[in-house]
Structure 1
């Protein structure tokens, strides 16, 4: 069985990244896993680095 999609939140501004939906305007197709996003990716709203996001449960 496939692993459930996860949700990640920016600690600075609260931007939510949901693996299931991706962020097509940012070039992240639906289904893009957090681990597959480059380490140098930054929050599209505030510029916070990927390392400063937390996995959350909605």
Structure 2
């Protein structure tokens, strides 16, 4: 499993999908080993369909934990 700072979670209410770069996402044709920053900007959450902009890292700068949200 990837380091939490490399994993991103969808922040849309009732979703919470976590993108793990070690797994990629077969449903949206993202191969394993693809960093979140390398996913196309028009990519959408495979569960709720929200944009890539709704995702935040699980840990580190920009994460919900780091910002105290």
Give the unaligned 5+ runs of structure 2.
60-69
Bigger proportion of residues as helix: 2
Runs of 4+ in 1 over 6 A off after TM superposition: none
Unaligned runs of 5+ in 1: none
Q: Which structure's relative contact order is higher, taking Cα pairs within 8 Å and 6+ residues apart?
A: 1
Higher strand share: 1
Give the alignment's TM-score, normalised by structure 1.
0.81
**Where do 1:16-55 residues align within 5 Å?**
16-55=18-57
Task: Give me the CA root mean square deviation.
Answer: 1.5
TM-score by length of 2: 0.70
